[in-house]
Structure 1
Amino acid sequence: MRVLVTGGAGYIGNYIVEELLDAGHHVRVLDSMLWGDDALEPFEDDENLEIREGDIRHIEDLSYAMDDRDAVVHMAGIVGDPACGVNEQATQSVNVEATKSLVEVAKLHDIDRLVFASTCSVYGASELMELNEGSYLNPLSLYAESKIDSEEIILHETQDQFADNDITTTILRLGTIFGWSRRMRFDLVVNILTAKAVLEGDIPVYGGEQYRPLVHVHDAARAFAAVLDADEEKVDHQIFNVGDNDLNYQIKKVGRIVEENVEGAEVRFVEHKEDERTYRVSFDKINHILGWEAEYDIADGVQEIKEWMEEEEITDYSQKEMRNSEYPYM
Structure 2
Amino acid sequence: MRILVTGGAGYVGSTLVPMLLADGHAVRVLDTLRFGGQGLLGCARYPAFELVKGDVRDFAAVDDAADDVDVIVHLAAIVGYPACKKEPDVAVATNVDGTRNVVRARRPGQRLVFASTGSVYGAVPDYLCHEDTPRAPITLYGETKAEAEQLVLAAGDAVALRYATAFGASPRMRLDLMPNTFAYQAVHDRSLIVYEGGFKRTFVHVHDMARSIVFALDNWAAMRDDVYNVGHERMNFTKAEVARKILEHVDYYLYFAETGSDEDKRDYEVSYAKIRSRGFETEIDLDAGVAELVKAVSLINVVNPYGNV
TM-score grouping bracket, smaller chain normalisation: over 0.9
Q: Larger RCO: Structure 1 or Structure 2 (Cα < 8 Å, ≥ 6 residues apart)?
A: 1
Aligned equivalents of 2:303, 2:225: Cα separation in 1? 39
Contact 2:4-2:28 at 8 Å conserved across structures = yes
Deviation for aligned residue 1:35: 0.8
Deviation for aligned residue 1:46: 0.3
Question: Partner of 1:5 in structure 2?
Answer: 5
Instruction: Look up the equivalent residue of 1:15 and give its one-letter code.
Output: T
Identity of aligned residues (%): 38
Question: Partner of 1:239 in structure 2?
Answer: 227
Aligned equivalents of 1:69, 1:101: Cα separation in 2? 16
Deviation for aligned residue 1:102: 1.1
Does residue 270 (structure 1) correspond to residue 234 (structure 2)? The answer is no
Q: Which of these residues, 147, 158, 161, is aligned with residue 149 of structure 1?
A: 147
Question: Once the two structures are superposed, what CA deviation does each residue of 1:13-56 show, in whole Å capped at 9, x if it has no partner?
Answer: 11111221122111110000001110000111101211111111
Deviation for aligned residue 1:298: 1.8
RMSD of aligned C-alpha atoms?
Answer: 1.5
With 276-285 and 69-78 compared, the bigger mean Cα shift is at: 276-285
Does residue 316 (structure 1) correspond to residue 302 (structure 2)? The answer is yes
Aligned equivalents of 1:54, 1:80: Cα separation in 2? 21
The answer for unaligned runs of 5 or more in structure 2 is none
Does residue 214 (structure 1) correspond to residue 203 (structure 2)? The answer is yes
Aligned equivalents of 1:278, 1:94: Cα separation in 2? 27
Question: Once the two structures are superposed, what CA deviation does each residue of 1:51-102 show, in whole Å capped at 9, x if it has no partner?
Answer: 1111111111111111100000000010000000112111111110111111
Question: Partner of 1:163 in structure 2?
Answer: none
| SS of match in other structure, 1:222 | helix
Aligned equivalents of 1:213, 1:257: Cα separation in 2? 15
| SS of match in other structure, 1:204 | strand
**Shift in alpha-carbon separation, 1:149–1:59, aligned structure 2, 3 A:** same
Deviation for aligned residue 1:292: 1.1
**Shift in alpha-carbon separation, 1:318–1:44, aligned structure 2, 3 A:** farther
Query: Structure 2-normalised TM-score?
Result: 0.94
Aligned equivalents of 1:92, 1:41: Cα separation in 2? 30
Contact 1:69-1:111 at 8 Å conserved across structures = no
Deviation for aligned residue 1:112: 2.2
Aligned equivalents of 1:101, 1:299: Cα separation in 2? 40
Give matches, 1:186-225, under 5 Å.
186-225=175-214
Instruction: Look up the equivalent residue of 1:18 and give its one-letter code.
Output: P
With 179-188 and 297-306 compared, the bigger mean Cα shift is at: 297-306
Deviation for aligned residue 1:317: 7.5
Deviation for aligned residue 1:318: 7.5
| SS of match in other structure, 2:150 | helix
Aligned equivalents of 2:178, 2:16: Cα separation in 1? 22
Q: Which of these residues, 238, 255, 270, is aligned with residue 250 of structure 1?
A: 238
**Shift in alpha-carbon separation, 1:111–1:93, aligned structure 2, 3 A:** farther
Deviation for aligned residue 1:266: 3.0
The answer for unaligned runs of 5 or more in structure 1 is 160-167, 320-330
Aligned equivalents of 1:20, 1:272: Cα separation in 2? 45
Aligned equivalents of 1:243, 1:189: Cα separation in 2? 16
**Shift in alpha-carbon separation, 1:118–1:125, aligned structure 2, 3 A:** same
| SS of match in other structure, 2:202 | strand
Question: Partner of 1:325 in structure 2?
Answer: none
